[in-house]
Structure 1
Amino acid sequence: MIMSREIFVEKLINELAMNRNGLIIKDLKTNLEKYVLSENLTDEEIALLMISLSKVFRNNTLNQFALEFADQLNIDNNIIEEAKQIPGINGMLNSYHKFRHYIEVNDKNASYEYGSVGLKMGILSKPLMNPGTFEIIFISISIINGCEKCVIAHENHATHMGVSRNKIHDAVRITSILKGFSEI
């Protein structure tokens, strides 16, 4: 039986809540259901976003559900693997660009003295998945990693590619809600 998005989110929420109750859990559950069921993101975007986020949050439950959902959507295995690996390149770039941003805010000569980034990042120009989906995932992980420079750059790139701000906003909302679940 194919798992609909509604069944997916219901099962996921029950697992993430781990039989806990209370207002915070209730709010997280309500919010996750609302934005996963929103029409702004496609099933494939949700599955790939959650695969990447499961790696960032090291959440096996989220990973299991997202992979099962992706499998039922017949998403190509190479694209699923790319979603699993995005946190690696994203983490490298977020760390580096946070360093540069911190230094360059206080020392305008630092940009010239440090020069180019010098890190291989070919995937940014040739992702296997839809480039808009790739950008949404990059924005979401950059939010978690706290890289202002990367969030701004990828949001700008995504909107120039035609990705709606509603789509970006819902992806960031889902990311924030899953971050909340990861903290309880």
Structure 2
Amino acid sequence: MSLDALRDRLPSYAKDLSLNLSSLASETLLTDQQKWGAFVASAHAVGTGPVIAEVEAAAREAGLTDAAFEAAKAAAAIMGMNNVYYRALHLLKNEEYRTLPARLRMNVLANPGVDKVDFELWSLAVSAINGCGMCLDAHEHELKSRGVPNTAIQAALRIGAVVNAVSRVIASESALVAA
């Protein structure tokens, strides 16, 4: 599995991340599409090249379809915009901004090209990485309304957290080498 190559790149101080990456690759609370889509969306949300490459290779090896790849990357893209916008609305003291229409295109939310639950899980993982409480609440609410158990929601959050941490370690170690 390509995640082994990624794990091998992690320094000894990140052993917990390596172990978490391995256990999440074997996660059974999510379908394979949900799990690998969460990995792909999270890797694209952070944007560390070597992590994206290894995660995508692992996801392809696991059988993630082209449609799911496209949707996972779309989740990272749309949440990259929405998380900034809605986090700003939440942080602004002037509540008037919350009453204004967003006037941002978000068509992919209505038709993501995969099961809506899968897309919502991926959007939740990316929203956790990007730190948007409003979006986290909205996606969690949507998932709960569709009968998704807390343990599955937590699994997507765990994937986002670990991929984020692994990406940051790989990026910081690469920066040291380049310096």
With normalisation by structure 1, the TM-score equals: 0.81
Q: Does 1:166 align with 2:151?
A: yes
Alpha-carbon contact 2:43-2:52 (below 8 Å) kept: yes
* Alpha-carbon distance in structure 2 between the residues aligned to 1:65 and 1:21: 19
RMSD: 2.0
Q: CA 1:68–1:17 in 2, change beyond 3 Å: closer, same or farther?
A: closer
Residue in 2 aligned with 1:28? 17
Q: Where does the alignment leave 5 or more consecutive residues of structure 2 unmatched?
A: 170-179
Match of 1:18 in 2: 9
Asked if the contact 1:17/1:181 (under 8 Å) is kept, the reply is no
Bigger relative contact order, structure 1 or 2, given CA contacts below 8 A and separation 6+?
A: 2
Match of 2:94 in 1: 107
8 Å Cα contact 2:6-2:54 kept in structure 1? no
Cα pair distance change 1:75/1:39, threshold 3 Å: closer
Partner SS state of residue 38, structure 1? coil
Could you tell me the percent identity over the aligned residues?
24
**What is the number of residues matched between the two proteins?**
169
1:141 shift after superposition: 0.7
Structure 1 pair 16–56 and aligned structure 2 pair: CA distance change class (3 A): farther
Q: CA deviation at 1:73?
A: 4.5
Aligned to 1:42: 31
* C-alpha distance 111-72 of structure 1, shift in aligned 2 (>3 A): closer
- SS of 1:183's equivalent in the other structure is helix
* Cα contact 2:38–2:159 (8 A) shared by 1: no
- Alpha-carbon distance in structure 2 between the residues aligned to 1:73 and 1:34: 15
Alpha-carbon separation, structure 2, partners of 1:19 and 1:69: 17
Q: Which amino acid aligns with 2:134?
A: K
**Pairing 1:178–2:145 present:** no
**Which is worse superposed, 126-135 or 27-36?**
27-36
User: Any gaps of 5 or more consecutive residues in structure 1?
Assistant: 1-7
TM-score by length of 2: 0.83
Question: In terms of Rg, which structure is larger?
Answer: 1
